[in-house]
Structure 1
Amino acid sequence: MSPPRRWPLHPPPGPLEALSSWLGRLAELYEMPVHDLLRHNLGVVDPTLPTDLDVDPPMAMLMALAEKTGVDLARLRSMTLVGWVPWLFDTLPVHVQDAQPVFDSYVRDNSVLFAGKAGTHHVLRFRPEWAGPWLLPYPGALRACPDCVADPDRGISLMWRLALMTSCIEHDCRLLELSEVRAALVLGREVHREPLEEPRAALDRCTHQALTTGRVALPGRSVHAGVWFRLLRSLLDEVSLAASTQGTRGKAMLRQIWQATGHEERAGMNVWRPFEQLREDVREAMWDAAAAAFQLAADGLITARGRLGSALQPPPPYVYDGDEPSPFRNAWQDFMSAWEEALASARTDPATARQLLGLLTGGCHTLEGFEKERASLYEEGIPAEFLPGARELGRLDLM
């Protein structure tokens, strides 16, 4: 069988580049519109093209592109938003009837600062409809890094269309409006680059690490990228809550966080709305508050009591590792083998997951301890819906 016929020119996509951006660069090489490149040169039976190439293009189109360019199919899939399910999104698209359950699962079930679900607001009240985490209802002007745009081998990052990052880590500058950047490049004008200050930059570094390596090294421990995205989105939600919704300790924590930002509490917001539906200036203030909370927790100045809060806390003091283990198999090795088998079963069996949670939390005397053990099982890949809360497990003594 003869090898697949490649297009003569097929430069590889840039890091985290959007599919539409890469196809635009390819089409430019052949001096034709993207529409003509895909409709007449892929050899697919159905040449119907989606309105937005970056969301969920047909698999047949991606397979044909992989054959024509030699780019791996999985790489092409990752250049679309649906290719980031389930790491960055639980599901796409989010239908109106599913908005509240998706919001509760992604945001409210992954508490950071507060034990349990901190808020009770409903996203279904608001218009336009909540489209999902990080997705803006009105995308507006696309932002970009001027240095990346100037590089012919980079293109436009898929992540720039989301409310996920506000700077380019590689070039240490805030993202600017793409139209302004392109106009400056055409006219040969200098583009003013503004670095993102700490502690905001720390959040973007963590997100970039998650996107490029699949894990994030946090002050408390290393976590999977999917955990980081949900932790960050939950943190943005918690700092947006009114102090009046919290107890004495929660009120004091929120006030300390907002005082550290220099902004008015909640950026003057009177009516709660999901982060994605806030005005840009209010979203900027929420980023500042989330960054302040991240730094205060890392410095041990506040205690994050939520399910994922322990990931932000400083690690415990060093303890001597002990002597080298015996080369002979022992009871501990047998236990670890059994434990790994139990974890594997719990990832698909709710009953086993519940039993493991009960085993781990049997000696817990505080709700914070219970939630830490629950979070540890979640990070082992056990679905959140398999891990009941303290009340559901009958631990009313921890309420």
Structure 2
Amino acid sequence: MSPPRRWPLHPQPRPLESLSSWLDRLAGLYEMPVKDLLTRNLGLVDPDVPADLDYDPPMAMLTALAERAGVELARLRAMTLAGWEPWLFDKLTVPLQDTQPMFDAYVRDNSVLLVPGEAGTNQVNRWRRWPGPWLGYWPLHRACPVCAADPGRGRALLWRLPLMTGCVEHGCRLEDATAVALSVAVGQEGPGPVPLAEPLATVDRYTYEGLTTGRVTLPGRSVHAGVWFRLLRCLLDEVSLSPSGRRNHGRATLEQVWQAAGLEERAGLTTWRPYEHLKPDVQEAMLHAAATALHLVADGTIIAFGRLASTLRLEHRHIYDGDRQPPHRSSWQEAIAEMETALALARTDRDAARQLLILLTLGCRTLDRFEEERAFLFGVGVPADFLPSARNLGRTDLA
């Protein structure tokens, strides 16, 4: 069978560009609607074009696109939200019965500012169904005014989520996509791009680094991108809590964060709701407070007691290199091979992952150290729901 015919025009996707944005640019070159491009030109017997191309498009469609446009299938998958499992989402589609356990695992099993367990046990489905982390109830359609002026740039996938506030490349705020497109279409000279101010700019840079490199360099240490997303989501939860329901230190910390942010406490929220259910302006205020908290912890203004707090604290340590001889090369290679075998099994076997976590944390004496080992396993591809918390393992001995 002859290979499928490559389309004559097939510009490559931009870094972090969404699938819908790339297809808009591609279809524009052929002067046809995206639907015609996908239904008449892919060679599919029964083409199924979803309404939301950025969510979880059919694998058959992505495979055909990869062949026609000469783009790797894995790259096309990463241009959709489904392609960010398990780093940004444990699961993109969460069954109703799993929403509370998912929230607890993604958000409440972690802690940053507060003592572990102090956040409480709020029910996420009390008002409306929780769609999962970062999937906002209020849709966001945003664009960078600088990027929009260049038709070859496109839109980033994550601009549709309440995760970033600006375009890191141009250092400006994201604006309503419809207004930006109209301004570009009529050639209207509107106000210049609005610079994204600190501390939101720092949080955006962390997120951008995680999206582009897979790791984030925080003040305390470098962490896997998946750890950063969960840390930030946990911090957003903590700043949304009522200070009056916390212990003395937690109450004082939350009050200090909002005072330093220069915003109304809890952004005016009177009844707790998960971040994804908040309106966009309230979400941005919560992000501003979370960014302020990151800065205050890093410079030592406030002391954080959460399991992930050590990632944010600047540490100045001098470690003597010593005179010990390095391990024998063959023994070291054997150890690495054994570890790789164990990790490969843990990525697909829940019991193996649990046993490996127990083994790696036998010598841990603090919750911070336990969470570092747990984060390491997650960072090398072991599913988050395979890794129980210290509480679930009965590690009541951890300080």
TM-score by length of 1: 0.90
With over 3 angstroms needed to count, the CA separation of the structure-2 counterparts of 1:60 and 1:244, relative to structure 1, is same
Give the aligned partner of residue 297 of structure 2.
297
SS in 2 for 1:61: helix
Query: Superposition pairs for residues 1-399 of structure 1, below 5 Å?
Result: 2-117=2-117, 118-127=119-128, 129-140=129-140, 142-191=141-190, 192-323=192-323, 325-326=325-326, 328-329=328-329, 348=349, 349-361=352-364, 364=365, 367-368=367-368, 370-371=370-371, 374-375=374-375, 378-379=378-379, 381-398=381-398
**Offset at residue 68 of structure 1 (A):** 0.8
Deviates more, 1:296-305 or 1:50-59: 296-305
With over 3 angstroms needed to count, the CA separation of the structure-2 counterparts of 1:113 and 1:21, relative to structure 1, is same
With over 3 angstroms needed to count, the CA separation of the structure-2 counterparts of 1:398 and 1:319, relative to structure 1, is closer
With over 3 angstroms needed to count, the CA separation of the structure-2 counterparts of 1:85 and 1:376, relative to structure 1, is closer
Check the 8 A contact 2:240/2:286 in 1, yes or no: yes
- In structure 2, give the amino acid aligned to 1:236: L
With over 3 angstroms needed to count, the CA separation of the structure-2 counterparts of 1:84 and 1:339, relative to structure 1, is closer
**Offset at residue 395 of structure 1 (A):** 4.3
SS in 1 for 2:146: helix
Ranges in structure 1 where 5+ consecutive residues have no aligned partner: none
- In structure 1, give the amino acid aligned to 2:180: V
With over 3 angstroms needed to count, the CA separation of the structure-2 counterparts of 1:331 and 1:248, relative to structure 1, is farther
Check the 8 A contact 2:300/2:313 in 1, yes or no: yes
* Whole-Å separation in 2 of the counterparts to 1:26 and 1:239: 42
Deviates more, 1:105-114 or 1:176-185: 105-114
**Offset at residue 116 of structure 1 (A):** 2.0
Ranges in structure 2 where 5+ consecutive residues have no aligned partner: none
Check the 8 A contact 2:143/2:174 in 1, yes or no: yes
Identity of aligned residues (%): 60
* Whole-Å separation in 1 of the counterparts to 2:78 and 2:339: 33
Check the 8 A contact 1:353/1:386 in 2, yes or no: no
Check the 8 A contact 2:308/2:368 in 1, yes or no: no
* Whole-Å separation in 1 of the counterparts to 2:61 and 2:340: 40
Q: How large is the RMSD of aligned CA atoms in angstroms?
A: 2.5
Check the 8 A contact 2:227/2:375 in 1, yes or no: no
Check the 8 A contact 1:115/1:368 in 2, yes or no: no
Check the 8 A contact 1:166/1:175 in 2, yes or no: yes
**Offset at residue 289 of structure 1 (A):** 0.7
SS in 2 for 1:147: helix
**Offset at residue 335 of structure 1 (A):** 6.9
TM-score by length of 2: 0.90
With over 3 angstroms needed to count, the CA separation of the structure-2 counterparts of 1:186 and 1:369, relative to structure 1, is closer
Query: Paired residues, what number?
Result: 394
